[in-house]
Amino acid sequence: MGNSIEVRDLTLSFGSVSVLKNMNLNVEEGEFVVLLGPSGCGKSTLLNCLAGLLDITDGQIWIKEKNVTWSEPSERGIGMVFQSYALYPQMTVRGNLSFGLKNARVPQAEIDKRIARAAEILQIQPLLDRKPAALSGGQRQRVAIGRALVRDVDVFLFDEPLSNLDAKLRSELRVEIKRLHNALGNTMVYVTHDQIEALTLADRIAVMKGGVIQQLAEPLEIYNRPSNLFVAGFIGSPSMNFLKGRTVDGGRAFQFGSTKIDLAGYEGGAVLERDDAILGVRPEHITVSTTPLAGPSMPAEVEIDEHLGADSLLWLKAEGVNMSVRVPVEGRLPPGTKVHLGLDIPKASLFDAKTEQRI
Amino acid sequence: MADVSMAAAMTGPRGAKPKKRLTGRNIMLYGTLLVVCLYYLLPLWVMVMTSLKGMPEVRMGNIFSPPVEITFQPWVKAWAEACTGLNCDGLSRGFWNSVVITVPSVILSIAIASVNGYALINWKFKGSDVFFTILIFGSFIPYQIMLYPIVILLREAGLYGSLWGLVLVHSVFGMPILTLLFRNYFSSIPEELFKAARVDGAGFWGIYFRIMLPMSLPIFVVALILQVTGIWNDFLFGVVYTKPDLYPMTVQLNNIVNSVQGVKEYNVNMAATLLTGLVPLVVYFVSGKLFVRGIAAGAVKG
């Protein structure tokens, strides 16, 4: 399958401030790509550039093998869903859905057909003659998705569509969007700052920071093998434990304070001996034991024990550094308990402290 | 035991705290309001009463007393018979002139200013902020400075002394404040609506007429009130830029009240003044209601 969206060397600056820097991104036909990052990272800006709502400074944007760099938003073959729904308040749901089609001079019979189909897919048939003010948040967002749907386009752009909804509705609609993607097979680009949405929805995630894509990979790859410190720290809750130390013994071990951790089984490049290294271990890749462990381990002391329902979080201090560990509910330990931590080295990440890149 | 303590607890103060009506604070508050009210209403009372008296009764002096014999003759005279110069058709001529001046001026200025505000917010162009700053600066320049230059401009354009010249002047002078008004209102409409409309293929005018306009009734009513009262009450531009045939009602009123020949007919003057002020008053009452309804409709939500 070919590329549905190609961004080539895209640069966007406002005066002397550059928002997107020399960006390249290929989205395959039918792929679900999530742009993920903290606020101000340029993810929504990139989406607006794709939609043609912002004029870019340099580079090209191709959609469906067509150079749309200078095209109007309506000519790009995209549908867009906004965070605030952006429904036209004075029109009924039907009016909202047909507005774009009427502008494009689609015949009335065809309009009716498409609205009927979209309403059926999104189950909004009973709402068609209501005004947006008479709809709930979830219903409004459904209509907003419908407005993209009736345009019969190949590419859907979502700009934080679920951020205005409460937690329960959010997870419901998240599943629905996934279902929609499976059913329609459209290319979708989805902007969010919510990593759960990103991890659950995406075929691939582009983690962005400072107008640059830090890593573009499948969700599990991003989670398990973050390419740099930023990605490692941004994905995962609570975030990855970072142990500052150095690699010794020709790169076969990691010296953390007075503890030496064997790196056997680490999946990565040549570790070598480095003076400044950071070992990153996720809270769920650490085991806690009250007795000394075989294999790589370190002593620690429990400080706080948080019960989360399904499991609990232990906050510990090891070599003077705060760490979090996810343990089963049965594994709860009172504060002050002296424990040994076992690290799952094959699932850990090692970073160069200077370049912040994964080793 | 529990019942007894419960009953005891219920004997004290309970429910809403009683409000005292005649407190010192309330007496001060309503007393002041009453005095201020009288202060503002007294002139109106004098005007209405005087306008309903015949001249002999006016001469008796008691300006606060109601008429012994009610007559509408002063109103009829003010409207249709009072003389200014050679014309003796009262205020009616000025009324229709004012209508003919106000209607196109209001429509033209609101139409242009609303599009200005819309373009300045949603279709920013290079220098749009500078343009806006200059426009706003215009509202700080006293009219008198521009009075004579505009006479020359209108003369060169062949519009001096004509109705359309005055309409043009009113439209131009309304522009700064109206543009500011519309720009600020449109800036409160979520930008995503505008973006959605662009993705839906609507252009500059399509978005203006089909998205922005239907959402902006309240601000149009505000602009309408501002312009109708402003232009109707204008005296300076009316007297400077038109000729006697086209004098607006305010100028006509002045000429009736200040005519030096004959007896001062206070009753006719009062009636004429009330007649002139009637139009802005009606606009306030009618569109004020519309204005509240426009806000209450809450069409902007969602």
Query: What pLDDT, in 10s, does the model give residues A186-245?
Result: 999 999 999 999 999 999 999 999 999 999 999 999 999 999 999 999 998 889 999 999
Domain shared by A97 and A124, yes or no? yes
Does residue A29 sit within a domain? yes
Domain count, chain A: 2
Q: Which of A234, A263, A282 is the last residue of a domain?
A: A234
Token pair for A265: 């089984």
Quote the minimal CA–CA distance from B130 to chain A in Å: 16
Distance CA B300, CA A54 (A): 25
Does residue A359 sit within a domain? no
Q: Which residue of A has its CA nearest to B124?
A: A54
Q: Please name the residues in contact with A29: beta carbons below 8 A apart, sequence gap of 6 or more.
A: A1, A2, A3, A4, A154, A187
What Cα–Cα distance (Å) separates residue B183 from each residue in A37, A84, B162, B176?
Answer: 33, 21, 31, 10
Strand partners, A273: none
pLDDT tens digits for range A264-276: 888 776 777 888 8
Q: Please name the residues in contact with B185: beta carbons below 8 A apart, sequence gap of 6 or more.
A: B117, B216, B219
Quote the minimal CA–CA distance from A87 to chain B in Å: 7
Q: Which of A194, A209, A234 is the last residue of a domain?
A: A234
> Reduced to 3 states, what is the DSSP secondary structure of residue A27?
strand
pLDDT at A221: 93
Give residue B7's pLDDT band: very low, low, confident or very high (50, 70, 90): low
Domain shared by A51 and A155, yes or no? yes
Does residue A74 sit within a domain? yes
Distance CA A261, CA A238 (A): 23
Q: Are B255 and B129 in contact (CB under 8 A)?
A: no
Q: Please name the residues in contact with B156: beta carbons below 8 A apart, sequence gap of 6 or more.
A: none
Q: Which of A185, A209, A234 is the last residue of a domain?
A: A234
Other Cβ atoms closer than 10 A to B171: 22
Element (DSSP H or E) covering residue A303: strand A297-307
Domain shared by A159 and A53, yes or no? yes
Count Cβ atoms within 10 A of the Cβ of residue A248 and give its class: 0-12 exposed, 13-18 middle, 19 or more buried: middle
pLDDT at B301: 40
Does residue A218 sit within a domain? yes
- Best residue of B125, B199, B216 to probe chain A, by most A CBs closer than 10 Å: B199
Identify which of B229, B242, B236 has the alpha carbon closest to the alpha carbon of residue B106: B229
Quote the minimal CA–CA distance from A54 to chain B in Å: 10
B262 pLDDT exceeds 50?
yes
Q: Are B250 and B238 in contact (CB under 8 A)?
A: yes
pLDDT at B298: 42
Token pair for B136: 């706003």
Identify which of A37, A35, A31 has the alpha carbon closest to the alpha carbon of residue A4: A31
Domain shared by A184 and A247, yes or no? no
Inter-chain touch B196–A82, beta carbons under 8 Å: yes
- Which chain B residues have a beta carbon less than 8 Å from that of A163? none
**Which of 2.40.37.10, 1.20.200.10, 1.10.540.10, 1.10.3720.10 is the CATH number of B92-296?**
1.10.3720.10
Quote the minimal CA–CA distance from B193 to chain A in Å: 5
- Which chain A residues have a beta carbon less than 8 Å from that of B299? 89-90, 133
Does residue A56 sit within a domain? yes
Distance CA B249, CA B276 (A): 7
Q: What is the CATH number of the domain that holds A261?
A: 2.40.50.140
Domain shared by A97 and A123, yes or no? yes
Identify which of A54, A78, A58, A72 has the alpha carbon closest to the alpha carbon of residue A5: A78
Q: Are B133 and B140 in contact (CB under 8 A)?
A: no
Token pair for B281: 């008053």
Domain shared by A115 and A53, yes or no? yes
Distance CA A219, CA A273 (A): 30
Q: Are B172 and B236 in contact (CB under 8 A)?
A: no
Distance CA A199, CA A8 (A): 26
Q: What is the CATH number of the domain that holds A216?
A: 3.40.50.300
Distance CA B83, CA B123 (A): 54
* Over residues B173-183, mean pLDDT: 91
Domain shared by A176 and A77, yes or no? yes
- Which chain B residues have a beta carbon less than 8 Å from that of A138? none
Domain shared by A262 and A221, yes or no? no
Distance CA A43, CA A36 (A): 7
In degrees and rounded to multiples of 5, residue A157 shows phi and psi of -115, 125
In degrees and rounded to multiples of 5, residue A257 shows phi and psi of 60, -125
Alpha helices in chain A (DSSP H): 43-51, 93-103, 108-122, 137-149, 167-184, 195-201, 219-224, 229-234
Q: What is the pLDDT along chain A (359 residues), one digit of tens a residue?
A: 578 899 999 999 988 888 999 999 999 999 999 999 998 899 999 999 999 999 999 999 999 989 999 999 999 999 999 998 899 999 999 999 999 999 999 999 999 999 999 999 999 999 999 999 999 988 999 999 999 999 889 899 999 999 888 888 898 999 999 999 999 899 999 999 999 999 999 999 999 999 999 999 999 999 999 999 999 999 988 899 999 999 888 888 888 888 888 888 887 767 778 888 999 999 999 988 888 877 777 889 999 888 888 888 899 998 888 999 998 887 678 888 889 898 888 889 999 988 889 98
Domain shared by A253 and A197, yes or no? no
Identify which of A299, A351, A295, A291 has the alpha carbon closest to the alpha carbon of residue A320: A299
Domain shared by A92 and A222, yes or no? yes
Give residue B296's pLDDT band: very low, low, confident or very high (50, 70, 90): low
Domain residues for the domain of A131 are 3-234
Domain shared by A227 and A248, yes or no? no
Does residue A357 sit within a domain? no
Token pair for B105: 């001026």
- Which chain A residues have a beta carbon less than 8 Å from that of B216? none
Query: Could you state, in order of their start, the residue ranges of all structural domains in chain B?
Result: 21-71, 92-296
Domain shared by A289 and A198, yes or no? no
